[in-house]
Amino acid sequence: MKPVRTTCPYCGVGCGVKATPGVGRAVTIEGDAAHPANEGRLCSKGTHLGETVGLEGRLLHPAIGGKRASWDKALDLVARTFARTIKEHGPDSVAFYVSGQLLTEDYYVANKLMKGFIGSGNIDTNSRLCMSSAVAGHIRAFGEDVVPATYADLDEADLIVLVGSNTAWCHPIVYQRIQAARRQRGTKLVVVDPRRTETCEDADLHLAIRPGTDVALMNGLLAHCRDQGLIDEAFLGQSVSVPDGFWDGLADRDLWSTAGTCDVAPADLRRFFDLFAANPRTITLFSQGINQSIRGTDQVNAIVNVHLATGRIGKPGAAPFSITGQPNAMGGREVGGLASTLAAHMDFAPGNVDLVRQFWSAPAMAAKPGLKAVDLFRELGRGKIKALWIMATNPAVSMPDAGAVRDALSACPFVVVSDCMVRTDTLAYAHVALPASAWGEKDGTVTNSERRISRQRPVFANPGEARPDWWIISEVARRMGWKSPFAYDRPADIYREHARLSTYRNNGRRLFDIGHHGAISNPDYDALEPFCWGGTPFADGRFPTGDGRARLVSVRQMELADPLVQWPFTLNTGRYRDQWHTMTRTGLSARLSAHRREPLVEIHPDDAADLGIADSGFARLITAQGESVFRVQLSDGQRHGEAFVPIHWTDQQSTGGRTGRLPRPLVDPFSGQPGFKSTPLRIEPLVTE
């Protein structure tokens, strides 16, 4: 059999995969040397994809009330119940909660149905939990959600600063690329992370800053750049708006005060500043340590400010670079899959609403943003949302305060779950379960962290009665009475429509534009090669704002309160190298599971000694939201007072080590992204008989 060129379904690196089907569901996996994102490399998760495509644990038939039902009955019930709920309680009484696992075509159809035909903004995505602070920061600074770098910039940088990112584990192929640049070019590497992770092992410098002091660090760096004459005055004059009082806000940020706030040695901070001064080709790559914060957007803008003020943007090897966690978080951003955006990188400005209304011939356009994820589930718990459709995600585990989310799902009159797996805790709350296609069956496009659109192509036929998400959503729309707007026969029909919409402009410039594919033929869509939209953003010094100028944003370091006696620790959450999200797929691979067989809480040895806990002993982790028991791993890479746990284990896999119920549901005020990395915590030793 010939190999199928497709894209890995895990992280936002978006590696190209060659999948050669064998007998039955067997498949041989290798990296696609022709894909620019990975040039043939694959990490452990990608390499072992073939072990996760069997039919074990697959949802293969529609079900109503847990009993097998026909597609017709299930779809009719979903359409009828949503229509009745909208009629009785209005369009804002229903919601979709979708996922960065969906393909762009799936996302597009879901967004069109909710925002154009149901008439509500209530479609939000689990990408809200992952990168929405980067979206908000980009829009504040650039006027549009544009990532200004590609992976090729990593090859051309002289200094790479990784902030809040365990890249070696969470984006391994990006990390390998950084290592290659270090070998070949001597690129310097600085890691800023409160934890000493595997990513720090190869770094020139690790700054283990006090958690939550990223704004102080970046403002201190910016003040240093000003004092050393590194500000690019010509670029600022031509291309950047500087708000009144911006520089005054940095007055107290000298090296010593910054080192004190961040709790790092002044000599280390001086080294970082010197490296930054000496290497204008700088990439600052950031991820969840920046985004998953109640000040995430300010943290993003603190990083972007430094790049704008020093002119390190729009040039090879120089940019701030947000990398996404999920395979198609970026595709969701492009279609408007966030409650805060409308479609095709447009917000809810009245002119945009009218444009999209005309384009879709929409009968009931949403005129305002909908509920963001945390608010959405809060309103679900209050009874305001009466019908919810969850697509390809597991909020009963992955949302902060997941216990309250479960209570809300229990109380909701009508919950629909479309998923490819039965091993999700969320499926237990479904009144209607709809079997969706999985990786290896899906057909469409995804966009990775560098704005590269790639094809996911089918390797197998859909098993059982599984169907593509776009088909399921379109069938419900048609049964709600909107036949011709959702008369799609294939993903290419949707992609062409999405591409045409991307050319619509209310006013000004927008970089997201794939209009050249508005009439792409079916064969050309099938053969589509990976490509980045947006070219080299901002190379001409022009930004997609009204006046063409980017904006520096005044951001201040928030006051950090000392821990309360009741909650002396801070809970931090993250990923293991070989698991993906709630392990519904990676948990099927024995080899991937062998890397870490159980979830561990990592704490500093001195803290463990104070608590009377030995290495490999058990501890109970208690927050205001819930509690769970973990085995303890002592690690002097943890700061005092901090505890780190993985996000992966669920009720399905374990009786302990379940993180989901622990994080608090506080969010960033601009992005609505939850602050997963700073939940007040108490740790108690668990004495076993």
**Contact set with ligand SF4 (CB under 6 A):** 8, 10-11, 13-15, 38, 42-43, 45-46, 171-173
Tell me the DSSP string of 344-406. TTB-S-HHHHHHHHHHHT-SS---S----HHHHHHHHHTT---EEEEES--HHHHSTTHHHHH
β-bridge mates for residue 643, sequence order: 571, 603
Closest CB to ligand SF4 among residues 580, 649: 580
Closest CB to ligand SF4 among residues 172, 212: 172
Closest CB to ligand SF4 among residues 517, 585: 585
CB 668 within 8 A of CB 652: no
Report d(CA 470, CA 550) in Å as an integer.
Answer: 37
Nearest 10 degrees: Cα torsion 430, 435, 440, 446 = -60
Contacts of residue 411, defined as CB under 8 A and 6 or more positions apart, other chains included, come to: 380, 381, 383
Least distance in angstroms from the C-beta of 654 to ligand SF4: 23
Closest CB to ligand SF4 among residues 341, 586: 586
Least distance in angstroms from the C-beta of 257 to ligand SF4: 39
Least distance in angstroms from the C-beta of 31 to ligand SF4: 8
Least distance in angstroms from the C-beta of 110 to ligand SF4: 23
Least distance in angstroms from the C-beta of 559 to ligand SF4: 37
Least distance in angstroms from the C-beta of 32 to ligand SF4: 10
Least distance in angstroms from the C-beta of 661 to ligand SF4: 27
CB 461 within 8 A of CB 441: yes
Residue with tokens 């041989």: 28
Least distance in angstroms from the C-beta of 327 to ligand SF4: 7
Closest CB to ligand SF4 among residues 474, 579: 579
Characterize 228-249 residue by residue with b for buried, 16 or more Cβ atoms within 10 angstroms of its Cβ, and e for exposed: eebbbeebbeebbbbeeebbeb
Closest CB to ligand SF4 among residues 115, 452: 452
Least distance in angstroms from the C-beta of 126 to ligand SF4: 17
Least distance in angstroms from the C-beta of 444 to ligand SF4: 16
Report d(CA 533, CA 579) in Å as an integer.
Answer: 30
Closest CB to ligand SF4 among residues 14, 672: 14
Q: Distance between alpha carbon 670 and the CA centroid of its chain, in Å?
A: 16
Report helix, strand or coil for 631. Answer: strand
Least distance in angstroms from the C-beta of 447 to ligand SF4: 13
Contacts of residue 156, defined as CB under 8 A and 6 or more positions apart, other chains included, come to: 281, 316, 317
> Which pairs with CB-CB distance under 8 Å and at least 24 residues apart come from 5-8?
5/32, 5/34, 5/35, 5/455, 5/457, 6/440, 6/455, 6/456, 6/457, 6/459, 7/35, 7/327, 7/446, 7/448, 7/454, 7/455, 7/456, 8/42, 8/45, 8/46, 8/49, 8/327
Closest CB to ligand SF4 among residues 10, 460: 10
Helical (H) or strand (E) element with 139:
helix 132-142
CA geometry: angle 387, 392, 397, nearest 5 deg: 80
Report d(CA 147, CA 329) in Å as an integer.
Answer: 13
In this chain, which residue has its C-beta nearest to ligand SF4?
46
Closest CB to ligand SF4 among residues 439, 543: 439
Closest CB to ligand SF4 among residues 9, 370: 9
Closest CB to ligand SF4 among residues 38, 628: 38
Amino acid 257 reads S
Least distance in angstroms from the C-beta of 131 to ligand SF4: 15
Least distance in angstroms from the C-beta of 7 to ligand SF4: 8
Report d(CA 468, CA 520) in Å as an integer.
Answer: 21
Q: How many residues make up the chain in this entry?
A: 689
Q: For residue 555, give the nearest of 141, 233, 128 by alpha carbon.
A: 141
Phi, psi dihedral angles at 327 (to 5 degrees): -65, -30
DSSP code of residue 250: G
Helices (H), 464-604: 469-479, 491-501, 522-526, 590-593
Closest CB to ligand SF4 among residues 168, 555: 168
Closest CB to ligand SF4 among residues 352, 584: 584
